[in-house]
Amino acid sequence: MTKKGVVASLIGAIFFALVFPAVVTIADSLEKVKAYQFVVDGEKWFTVAETEKEAVEEILREYQGQFMKNIDENAQIKKVGFAQQVFLAEVEVKPEEIDPFEIVEEMIYAVEEEALEIEVKKGDNFWNLSRKYKLSVNDLIILNPDINPEKIYPGDKLLVRPMNPILDVVIELENTVVESIPFKVKYRRDNRLYTHQQKILRAGVEGEKEVLYHITLLNGYQHSLAVLEEKVLKEPSDALVQIGTRKTVSRGGRINYGVVSGTRISSYYGYRIHPITGKRRFHDGIDIAAPHGNTVYAYTDGVVVEAGWNGGYGYCILIDHGDGLKTRYAHLSRIFVRVGQRVRVEERIGAVGSTGNSTGPHLHFEVIKNGRTTNPLNYL
């Protein structure tokens, strides 16, 4: 081949090398279409056509909505989002890189672990169930906001493990509820009255306060709860009780609640409003949290009319003090008296436990006057 022929061949090769790739690139770009990639924490999950973007956004809204079903209708939803970083990124891809839309909902609704619901059996309570399933009592209460933890019965269903989805939904809300402010009790002693006699000269009246909560839900369940603001609507009014000079047990300080030495009153008498669901529950007595086995004392002189197992109360004692006054001591671990036995004020009658429908070791103390429960704080 002559030099002229070699040069012509080189020129031809260079021209082909320069021009042909450009042709291929142009052909490739003509094949690509606009689409959207769904990205979670930097990882691509799926790609959809441009026309399907709104449909994906609607599925995401519906997915988030399933975790908002138990929220009080009066609550203010401040923010709804995902715990992960989630977004739809605009891309250009070949048509064959677009995923079938059928997998979109399947991937969004995917779960790592299914929910576990159990059926309550005889002898179950929130305390022993929480230990069995390695939860705190508070976690078990959070998972079952519509259940009164003091009133569960065989056959009831309890959630002990929530569904664990791949995509975690975080909801921030604010809700205002009215809560009670406990009153104090003042005593006026009268030597004309016996120990089992007393007269309420002025009934205690609980105050009211408006509490604004900021609540964060993770996948529909309480993750955090903080008080943003409290406003007193009505100050409490102290009770004035006339009692006999012969003593009845009474509160004697921070941990002495008369009928038992405990750590605190964990639940007061009357209606309570759940800050998330907004539902009301009525509590017939007061719950005094106390260590398992702590001694329980008789409120004042009387006759034991019940001593034994009593359904949701667990091991329970009921004492008749006369003049229409009775006291009940529930969820006991041990009973030291029998029906028909006369007891004296401060006599040991039982021990703190968590039997029946109980959230943990405590004494449920009720005062019944003329057949109806009344606020025990008027008597302690």
**Alpha carbons 268 and 206: distance in angstroms, whole number:** 11
pLDDT of residue 65: 94
**Alpha carbons 251 and 246: distance in angstroms, whole number:** 16
pLDDT in tens, the chain (380 residues): 443 343 334 334 434 444 444 444 444 445 899 999 999 999 999 999 999 999 999 999 999 999 998 899 999 999 999 999 999 999 999 999 999 988 899 999 999 999 999 999 988 988 889 999 999 988 999 899 888 888 889 999 999 999 999 999 999 999 999 999 989 988 887 766 655 567 889 999 999 999 999 999 999 999 999 999 999 999 999 999 887 765 567 666 556 778 898 888 888 888 877 666 777 888 889 999 999 999 999 998 899 999 999 988 999 999 999 889 999 999 999 999 999 999 998 899 999 999 988 888 999 999 999 999 999 888 87
Torsion angle, alpha carbons of 10, 16, 18, 22, to 10? 180
Q: What residues have CB less than 8 Å from 139, skipping those under 6 apart? A: 130
Name beta bridge partners: 145. none
> What's the pTM value of the predicted model, to 2 decimals?
0.61
- Ramachandran assignment for 327, one of left (phi > 0), alpha (psi -120 to 50 degrees), beta (any other): beta
pLDDT of residue 149: 86
pLDDT of residue 192: 66
Torsion angle, alpha carbons of 115, 120, 123, 127, to 10? 40
Pick the CATH number of 169-378 from 2.40.50.140, 3.30.70.360, 3.40.190.80, 2.70.70.10: 2.70.70.10
Provide the 3-class DSSP secondary structure of residue 372. strand
Structure token digits, residue 342: 């006369």
Where are the extended beta strands (E) located within 274-378? Answer: 280-283, 286-289, 295-297, 302-309, 315-322, 325-335, 342-343, 348-352, 362-369, 372-374
**Alpha carbons 378 and 331: distance in angstroms, whole number:** 22
Structure token digits, residue 261: 């030495």
pLDDT of residue 23: 42
**Alpha carbons 286 and 200: distance in angstroms, whole number:** 19
CA quadruple 260, 261, 264, 266: dihedral positive or negative? negative
Domain ranges in the chain are 32-69+84-109, 169-378
CB-count exposure of residue 143 (10 Å: 0-12, 13-18, 19+):
buried
pLDDT of residue 29: 47
CB-count exposure of residue 218 (10 Å: 0-12, 13-18, 19+):
middle
Contact 244, 190 (CB under 8 A): yes
Contact 35, 53 (CB under 8 A): no
CA quadruple 338, 340, 341, 346: dihedral positive or negative? positive
Q: Are strands 239-244 and 111-113 parallel, antiparallel or unpaired?
A: unpaired
